[in-house]
A = this chain, B = another copy of it.
């Protein structure tokens, strides 16, 4: 009986596998190639890997009892249950990995083009008995005549050289990157000179195809970072790679796979050949950049939190298997600290925050899955990292989800009536960051919560009392009734969810406050506030203001700058000067460790209050 095989059928795809009895469903899911999201990495913390499953199964665990209280029968957590006989599995839409809303807005700003990749057309004199020098020396001699003098040593290039020279009748185009000859191509290929810039986020990977000669943006595309199936945040991914012997390789392979898929799609839209993409730049947080390199990031998560590599890396495309020209070049941004990565360097570059001429006081806030804050006062820059992000990405919120189809993104409460807007129309199946902020601000406005965040209907809120219900032993606010929700699960914002938002808001506000103190700057001295990432683009500014998501800056101009990290990656693609500047930024910004700042917990507690906005 021990080796008895059981049948697992996945619906609605009707995929079917045979497996041993006692196999965890998680393994069966992987075996079947079905994609499902384990936001907490499968540790039973988030309760989001819900599936409907019929058949003989292992008994309900205490973890499941905690998370599944209010949902119907047949619902289990995929990370908890094992098969004990033939079963039929239906993956809940909330657990399925779907395509996120893309953020590809740009700062409307002129970028100076001073290409890193240059093409030079050469008509070589063919060899003769009187001129028998080696092919490589011949190429160098002609490059020398054009003022380019450095030794060519790349073996792959040398291997291709005799063929390229003779097939093109000794007319060829040399593709140069700074002090390196990257590629030789037969004939005249000038004008075909492309690059790709990547913002490798914990959650979303955004790629942009650029004409390196003109700086023109030819296509942009994004994919969910496929590493999310091993954990929603970087810490759960590090946990995964520590517990899995091939973990690092798997994570690296996943992210490179996503990058290559994006490149494929960009090429199709831009009608560009792989061979004509010579450069790719990458920005990401420190952990993501380590994973992309295949460098173990474990010590970033362990005391005393040190990266393996902080500086920028220049590699060959083949070093990582990035599918551009195999002789092409890769540039990974330098980081600032263990929790402030190349993406922040890119934001600083894109927003000219480190521009030494400026005497202004400027603040940039980039909230993705991780949240980074940078404050600049003239030449001085300080930065900090907060764990604010996950709440806005839907993590740690009981029915939270990313800004995908089915997510509540806007909420309005008025005269006893509730109005919700769902991404993609249709029925709601969860709530995303902007919906969370909207709901909270509306609850505050209607006095359903007080400034301490407590859900406690006041006299004014009587008309809402029917919506205050119990969920998991806590009060909750019913946003969408069972009947109107997708899957028949009511959407409820719980007291705990509100606390999570307060924690996130508190983290941002206290981070800003501490940075202001570090540079001796008062709130009314701040000239400009730049909101980068999803944070600045999707959130209703009025709602953000109402809950005091960031402190008020009386004299500041507040601007949303879109995906500034992506823009920074593009800037390094089209200008050598910009690329050099990244190194300066990486060294010139002081990192402030918030958690070890004196009285941090007091500052944080204060900053969590919805009422206090200073």
Known: A129-B304, A314-B153. A299 touches B135 (CB 8 A): yes
Chain A: how many interface residues by the 8 Å CB criterion? 43
Return chain B residues, CB-CB under 8 Å to A309: 134-136, 158
Partner of A134, one of B127, B133, B310: B310
* Contact between chains at A310 and B129 (CB < 8 Å): no
Q: How far is the CA of A307 from the CA of B133 in the complex (A)?
A: 7
Q: How far is the CA of A311 from the CA of B338 in the complex (A)?
A: 43
- Looking at A289-297, A384-392, A523-531, the stretch in contact with chain B turns out to be A289-297
A99 at the interface (CB under 8 A from B): no
A605 at the interface (CB under 8 A from B): no
* Contact between chains at A162 and B311 (CB < 8 Å): no
Known: A127-B304, A314-B153. A298 touches B162 (CB 8 A): yes
Return chain B residues, CB-CB under 8 Å to A319: 155
* Contact between chains at B313 and A129 (CB < 8 Å): no
Q: How far is the CA of A162 from the CA of B306 in the complex (A)?
A: 10
* Contact between chains at A159 and B294 (CB < 8 Å): yes
Which chain B residue has the least Cβ–Cβ distance from A296?
B162
Partner of A308, one of B162, B308, B313, B338: B162
A163 at the interface (CB under 8 A from B): yes
A315 at the interface (CB under 8 A from B): yes
**Contact mask A276-318 → B, CB, 8 Å, 1/0?**
0000000000000000011110110001111111110111000
A108 at the interface (CB under 8 A from B): no
Known: A162-B298, A593-B129. A136 touches B306 (CB 8 A): no
Q: How far is the CA of A319 from the CA of B155 in the complex (A)?
A: 8
Return chain B residues, CB-CB under 8 Å to A162: 295-296, 298-299, 308
A161 at the interface (CB under 8 A from B): yes
Interface residues of A in 148-194 (CB under 8 A from B): 151, 153, 155, 158-159, 161-163, 166
Which chain B residue has the least Cβ–Cβ distance from A151?
B311
Q: How far is the CA of A159 from the CA of B292 in the complex (A)?
A: 12
Return chain B residues, CB-CB under 8 Å to A313: 153, 155
Q: Write the nearest CB–CB distance from A246 to chain B, whole angstroms.
A: 14
Interface residues of A in 311-338 (CB under 8 A from B): 311, 313-315, 319, 337-338
CB within 8 Å of B: which residues of A?
Answer: 127-129, 131-138, 151, 153, 155, 158-159, 161-163, 166, 293-296, 298-299, 303-311, 313-315, 319, 337-338, 593, 596
Other A-B pairs beyond A127-B304, A158-B295, 14, CB < 8 Å: A129-B596, A131-B304, A135-B299, A135-B309, A136-B308, A136-B311, A138-B306, A151-B311, A155-B294, A155-B313, A158-B309, A161-B308, A163-B296, A166-B299
Give 13 CB contacts A-B under 8 Å.
A129-B304, A129-B593, A131-B304, A135-B307, A135-B308, A136-B309, A136-B311, A155-B315, A155-B319, A158-B295, A159-B293, A162-B298, A166-B299
